Every structure is written in C-alpha cells, then in structure tokens.
C-alpha cells in the first residue's frame, strides 16, 4: 500500500467532504447523502437508471471500504477511511471500485448520452456539488486534456486515477468523488 503523504492527505480531505454529519466517521449514510445530492441536483427520480447506477457504484465502493475494517460496525474513522481508500484505489482487479465510481459519475454527467461531457454538463454537476462556477470551469479545462471543449470518458477516468495516485494534491479528479 502507498505511503505517499500527499495521497494520504488527499484521502483525509475526502473524509472531511464525506463526513457530512460531522460525527468524525464515514458511514453508508454519508455516501447516501452524496448520492442524494447527485439525484436531486439532476432532478432524477430515485428509480431512474442514472440514479440507480450512481447509487450502485457508491454501494460497491462503500462495501469495499467497509470490508477493510475487521470489526464491521459500519463506521470508518479518519485513519481507517484513509487506509481503506488507499487499499481500494490500489486494487488492480477487473472491478476496481474507485474506477467504477468514476465510470458511473461520467454516465451521470453525460446527460445527452453522446459519450462526452460538455462544459455545460460539467457545470450542472459542479452546481449539484455546491462548487463555484469559476472554479468548476477551471477544473473542466484541466480535465479536458486534449482541449477539444469536451471531456471524454478516458479523460474523466484518467482524472480520477490522477487524483487517486498522482502527486498533485489539487488534482481536478477529486471532483469525481465529490471534492469541490
């Protein structure tokens, strides 16, 4: 497992984003609140395919994280969460949970289903997360690595990978996981 302090700091920041009730732990309820933000931000019905896909991706991610803790009380404190995120992000199996979240979030953003995310689609997502528009536009430009004014699935997933593994603590790929 990586011992890179920048990656540990990044996951600690993610812990702060997810601990929406301030109880100093992350639970499925915290992830559910994030999913609810997506669903309401997009005006989706809870049973809509895009809503179900994002929920399923986060459920798989949560099960993977919770499975790294021996005592199954359904709570991860900061240290446990950081260790579990490091282990989950470094998983090289065919079903990497972190990348599955990136794939599901891409599908959520790609409202017109054309296989790419426009800046307008990205701004809807940013608004659902509570991000300011100027910062969201800057992140979009960083994720759009080929400068074609669209973010492809490959660019989006790569931004998530860079967030998980890269040296840049301010990686725009944190957006994939709800970091604004």
Q: What secondary structure, in 3-state letters, does the chain show?
A: CCCCHHHHHHHHHHHHHHCCCCCCCECHHHHHHHHHHHHHHCCCCCCCHHHHHHHHHHHHHHHHHHCCCCCCCCCECHHHHHHHHHHHHCCCCCCCHHHHHHHHHHHHHCCCCCCEEEHHHHHHHHHHHCCCHHHHHHHHHHHCCCCCCEEEHHHHHHHHHHHHHCCCCCCHHHHHHCCC
Q: Decide if pLDDT at 163 tops 90.
A: no
pTM: 0.81
At residue 177, the pLDDT reads 76
pLDDT in tens, 70-111: 667 889 999 999 999 888 777 666 567 778 888 999 999 999
Mean pLDDT, range 162-170, rounded to an integer: 73
The mean of the pLDDT values for the chain is 87
Q: So what's the pLDDT on residue 123?
A: 94
């Amino acid at each position: 497992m990586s011992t890179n302090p920048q990656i540990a700091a990044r996951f600690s920041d993610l812990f702060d984003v997810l601990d929406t009730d301030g109880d100093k732990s992350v639970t499925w309820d915290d992830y559910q609140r994030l999913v609810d933000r997506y669903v309401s931000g997009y005006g989706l019905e809870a049973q809509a395919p895009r809503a179900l896909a994002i929920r399923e991706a986060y459920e798989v991610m949560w099960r993977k994280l919770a499975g790294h803790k021996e005592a199954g009380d359904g709570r991860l404190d900061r240290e446990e969460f950081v260790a579990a995120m490091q282990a989950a992000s470094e998983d090289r199996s065919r079903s990497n949970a972190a990348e599955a979240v990136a794939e599901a979030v891409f599908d959520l953003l790609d409202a017109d289903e054309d296989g790419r995310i426009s800046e307008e689609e990205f701004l809807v997502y940013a608004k659902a997360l509570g991000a300011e528009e100027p910062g969201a536009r800057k992140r979009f430009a960083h994720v759009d690595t080929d400068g074609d004014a669209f973010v492809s699935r490959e660019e989006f997933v790569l931004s998530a990978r860079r967030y998980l593994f890269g040296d840049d603590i301010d990686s725009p790929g944190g957006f994939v996981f709800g970091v604004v």
